[in-house]
Chains A and B, each alone.
Chain A
Amino acid sequence: MLGAPTDTSDEELIRRSAARDRAAFDALVARHGGALLRFATRSCGTEVEAADALQDGLLAAWRGAGTFRGDASARTWLFQIVLHCCRRRARRRAGEPEQHAPVEAAADLPGADAPEARVAALQAGAALEQALASLPAAAREVLLLRDVEGLSGAETAAALSIDLTAMKSRLHRARLELKARVEERLGRALSEVLP
């Protein structure tokens, strides 16, 4: 089995994975696993569901590496697969009580002796996290891919399997709604918390 040097492109790693090179696939997971898990956690709402969705997604990517056509980047392809697994798990648990429990604890973290800037950052992060979790799935997904994970507009559209114009429209509405919900939670503008 060939090794997978860190400068090997994602696309090459997938090509090697398609030839059943586990080291190559492990290198791909090492490179993107953290971001995929972070995305899955916020998309699924719980760490348990996220771990399951990540496992489903990585198994699907390993099995389907030979089907990667390179139309989108490898990173986009991986996000697309994990997103699909998150949605499938959401459909399975449809009807169950809402499980989203976004770092509520973060709001309680700032202690009286915590430095002011740290408290402000925690408050802002908690408000953003809670507001994001409260959004409908479609809005949450586009914000996670574009603004949290930093995919380009084209990559985000590809991951969501929609065209760029539709993605931009969805993103803009989602950002406006998020802004309103953050301010509702904070009782003031975000910039007043984070000067």
Chain B
Amino acid sequence: MTIENEKVIAGLSCSDVLARLSDYVDGDLPAEERGRVEDHLRACEGCARFGGEFAATVRGLRTHLGAPASVSGELKDRLRRALDDDGAP
């Protein structure tokens, strides 16, 4: 990704912030670094917009694709038979 009009805010360039977005949304950044990323995001409209969309995509995976799943009765029966038939000790 190419960043136009790269800025340095709170000691972090836009590229630095982009590289830290995953750790930021996962809560994996140390407090001091997290604070600098947030200072940058507050002052940089482009990074704030991109970061917001990035976080929305990550959240969307869980929200829209992480719905409770279940194994159908038919597949359960098939698995049960496979295990029953398995001769391993």
Which A residues fall within an 8 A CB radius of B? 20, 22, 25-26, 29, 33-35, 37-38, 42, 51, 54-55, 58-59, 62-63, 121, 124-125, 128-129, 132, 143, 147-150, 153, 168, 171-172, 175-176, 178-179, 182-183, 189-191, 194
Q: Are B66 and A148 neighbours in the complex by a CB distance under 8 Å?
A: yes
The answer, yes or no, to whether B23 is at the interface (CB within 8 Å) is yes
CB contacts (< 8 Å) of B1 on chain A: these are: 176
**Known A-B contacts A128-B64, A149-B66, A179-B53; A168 and B82 likewise in contact (beta carbons under 8 Å):** no
Q: Are A20 and B23 neighbours in the complex by a CB distance under 8 Å?
A: no
Interface size bucket, B side?
20 to 34
Which residue of B is nearest A190, CB measured? B56
Q: How far is the CA of A74 from the CA of B68 in the complex (A)?
A: 19
The answer, yes or no, to whether B15 is at the interface (CB within 8 Å) is no
Q: Are B79 and A54 neighbours in the complex by a CB distance under 8 Å?
A: yes
Q: Are A182 and B57 neighbours in the complex by a CB distance under 8 Å?
A: yes
A-B CB contact pairs (8 Å), 21 listed: A35-B69, A37-B71, A42-B65, A51-B78, A62-B88, A63-B86, A63-B88, A143-B61, A148-B61, A148-B66, A149-B66, A150-B62, A175-B21, A175-B54, A179-B57, A183-B53, A189-B53, A189-B56, A190-B56, A191-B52, A194-B56
**Known A-B contacts A51-B75, A147-B58; A168 and B23 likewise in contact (beta carbons under 8 Å):** yes
Across the interface, A190 reaches (CB within 8 A) one of B28, B57, B88, namely B57
Q: Are B64 and A59 neighbours in the complex by a CB distance under 8 Å?
A: no
Q: Are A37 and B69 neighbours in the complex by a CB distance under 8 Å?
A: yes
Which B residues fall within an 8 A CB radius of A? 1, 19, 21-23, 26, 28, 52-54, 56-58, 60-62, 64-66, 68-71, 75-76, 78-80, 82-83, 86, 88-89
- Which 8 pairs between the two chains have the least Cβ-Cβ distance? A38-B69, A125-B64, A34-B69, A172-B22, A147-B61, A63-B88, A179-B57, A33-B71
CB contacts (< 8 Å) of A58 on chain B: these are: 79, 82-83
Q: How far is the CA of A128 from the CA of B57 in the complex (A)?
A: 8
